[in-house]
Amino acid sequence: MTDSRHTPAAAPAASAPPRAPFRHKALAGLLAFLLGWAGAHWWYLGRRGAWIPLLVSLVLIGTALRSPQWYFHPAFFLFLIPAVAGFIEALVLCLMPDAKFDARYNPDHDRHSHSGWPAILVAMATLAIGTAILMIGIVLMFQRIFELPN
């Protein structure tokens, strides 16, 4: 009778490359919706250059906040570009078919995405709130152009 505690351990596999973590579509969409201006979804999805949206956004919002009327500063309107891009990416990620999302962001996994309602709810919130923020930005821009003296 052999005791399993005394059997030698199996040799480790020949330095298999580390697998990327499984990425969830609804969470990627939620990060793009809430922190898309900072590129949080890029970090989560493992994209290169994930620091670029954060750097651009911080420079723009930092420049705008130095003005007494920051919401009329041109840097604020430029900040709306990465913000709206985050909303658009949230919609694209949430409405992407599960198989396409897995092929792009979970290629080495046997596990498959089944997003269901969470991704749809994130897409609905993104569409409603993102559209409202975009419209407010457009209204402020037109107010800046037509009402304030240069």
CA 7/CA 29 separation, integer angstroms: 48
Q: Are 36 and 133 in contact (CB under 8 A)?
A: no
45, exposed or middle or buried, with CB in 10 Å at 0-12, 13-18, 19+?
A: buried
Q: 27: domain range?
A: 23-105+112-146
**Residue 69 in domain:** yes
**Residue 16 in domain:** no
Q: Give per-residue pLDDT as tens, 22-42.
A: 899 999 999 999 999 999 999
**Residue 3 in domain:** no
**Residue 10 in domain:** no
Q: Give per-residue pLDDT as tens, 40-73.
A: 999 999 999 999 999 999 999 999 999 999 999 9
**Residue 15 in domain:** no
Q: Give per-residue pLDDT as tens, 69-115.
A: 999 999 999 999 999 999 999 999 999 999 999 999 988 888 888 88
Q: Given pLDDT bands bounded at 50, 70 and 90, which one contains residue 149?
A: low
**Residue 127 in domain:** yes
Count up the domains in the chain and report the number: 1
What is the model's pTM?
Answer: 0.81
